Structure formats: structure tokens, C-alpha cells
Amino acid sequence: MIITFGHTKGGVGKSLLAWHTAIALDVPVVDLDFQKTLVFSNSLRKQAGLEPVDIIHIENDDQFIDMFNTWPDDKDIIIDVGGFDMGINRIALIISDLIITPAIDRVTEMAGLSKFHEILTDISDKFDDADIHTRVLLNDISPSSKDFTVVEELVDDFNRFDMMESRICHRADFYNTMKEGKGVSELSKGKAKSELLSLVDEIMKIKKEA
């Protein structure tokens, strides 16, 4: 299954979640983020003497298309899409089996989600085979927040979005582990670890149902 963390809005946690999920699932990652966040964390991982994450670099659109034309269904891979709307990121959205769209629960973020929905509709209209839907994942939320109606109502209004059950809070473990080249799943305990493992369980449930 090709699992993509995709949103045209920057800074919503695509790279952070791609990193932790790839380590938890022990699967390769394609890094389309020009900031190369994952490459940097992987160099820290190597320095720490840990088994590096298998990061696949893509040179051009054709190589990307060839790779995924022949991608076996039973093999999982994660794609970290860059936070902007361009050719290769659009291809990633078309070829993915599951797109997870991290969203932060702030009114100001809602314009970004609505813009992304417009882009998904545009791609789906242009390509016969594409009818793109994504799963919105609340990320970086305050651990004390209980009311997510703003995002939930918006997701309800847009036919290409579904809400994920998992929720990821703002937690220091998510960035502190990355600074050490580790994944939260490699910690002995903690809330970040349990939230990430719930997300992984939900991904596996979606995979089974697919």
C-alpha cells in the first residue's frame, strides 16, 4: 500500500508523521520534501548507530511513475509530499492508496484545507483514473482540546475528505526524538508513542478493508 502524507499547506506535520510512521512500520519512505527533513533526521539516526530509514530519492517524474507503476500491492511505502502544488506532488496524490492529510485545529488553518480540497477536485477532474479522497488527521493539537467541531464540520462539508479517528497532540517527544534520529515508537513509553501506535493501527485497519 502506498501511504502518502499530503497537504499543500506547509508546516502541518507531514514530514514529522512520515518519519515516525515509517519507523513504526519499518517501511521505506520517498522524500519529495525539498527541505529534506527526513534525510537530515536520518543522518542523525546513522550517527546514533541506529539502522537508517530506507529513504528513496527521486530524480524526476518519469522515475517516480515507473517505480509506482510496478509497485506490489503487498509492499508498504510512505511518501512525504512537499507542502506546495506541483507536478510530482500531484502524481503522488494520484498513485496513492491512502492519503493522510494532517490538519491543525485552528480557524486560520481551514482556508488551507479548503484550498487543498479544490486542488484534489481539479486533479480528479483532469485525470480519468483519479478520484482522490484523503483522510484528515488532527495533528499538533493541544492535549487539553476536546472540541474539534470546526474541523469536523468542514470535513463533513467536503466530499473528498474523511476524518480519521486517531488524533495526534503537540508533544515534545515528537520533535525531540527526531533530533536524536529516533522514532517515538522506539521509546519505552509515553503519550506520543501511544498516539502514533493508534495511528498505525488505524492505517492497518484501512489496509485490511481496502
Q: Which of ligand ATP, Mg ion, none does 140 bind, CB closer than 5 to 8 A by kind? A: ligand ATP
Helix (H) or strand (E) holding 22: helix 14-25
Q: Shortest distance, CB of residue 32 to Mg ion, whole angstroms?
A: 9
* 37 contacts ligand ATP (rule: CB under 6 A): yes
- Closest CB to ligand ATP: residue number: 83
Q: Which stretch binds Mg ion (CB under 5 A): 31-39, 93-101, 117-125, 130-138?
A: 31-39
* 11 contacts ligand ATP (rule: CB under 6 A): yes
Give yes or no for a contact between 12 and 110, defined as CB atoms under 8 angstroms apart. no
104: CB partners within 8 A, 6+ apart = 12, 13, 138, 139, 140, 141
Within 57-116, which residues bind Mg ion (CB under 5 A)? none
Q: How far apart are CA 155 and CA 56, in angstroms?
A: 32
Within the chain, strands assigned E span 2-5, 29-31, 55-56, 77-80, 98-103, 134-141, 161-169
Q: Identify the residue among 175, 176, 201, 204 touching ligand ATP (CB under 6 A).
A: 175
Q: Identify the residue among 168, 184, 199, 203 touching ligand ATP (CB under 6 A).
A: 168
Give yes or no for a contact between 136 and 162, defined as CB atoms under 8 angstroms apart. yes
* 33 contacts Mg ion (rule: CB under 5 A): yes
Q: Which stretch binds Mg ion (CB under 5 A): 14-22, 103-111, 162-170, 182-190?
A: 14-22
The vertex-8 CA angle with 87 and 151, nearest 5°, equals 150
HSE-up of residue 99 (Cα within 13 Å, Cβ side):
25
- What's the Cα-to-Cα distance from 171 to each of 7, 24, 62, 174, rounded to whole Å? 21, 17, 38, 6
Q: Which stretch binds ligand ATP (CB under 6 A): 30-38, 89-97, 112-120, 201-209?
A: 30-38
| Residue placing its CB nearer to ligand ATP in the complex, 83 or 183 | 83
Q: Identify the residue among 8, 15, 41, 89 touching Mg ion (CB under 5 A).
A: 15
Residues that bind Mg ion (CB under 5 A): 14-15, 33
| Site for ligand ATP, rule CB under 6 A | 10-16, 33, 35, 37, 82-83, 139-140, 168, 170-171, 174-175
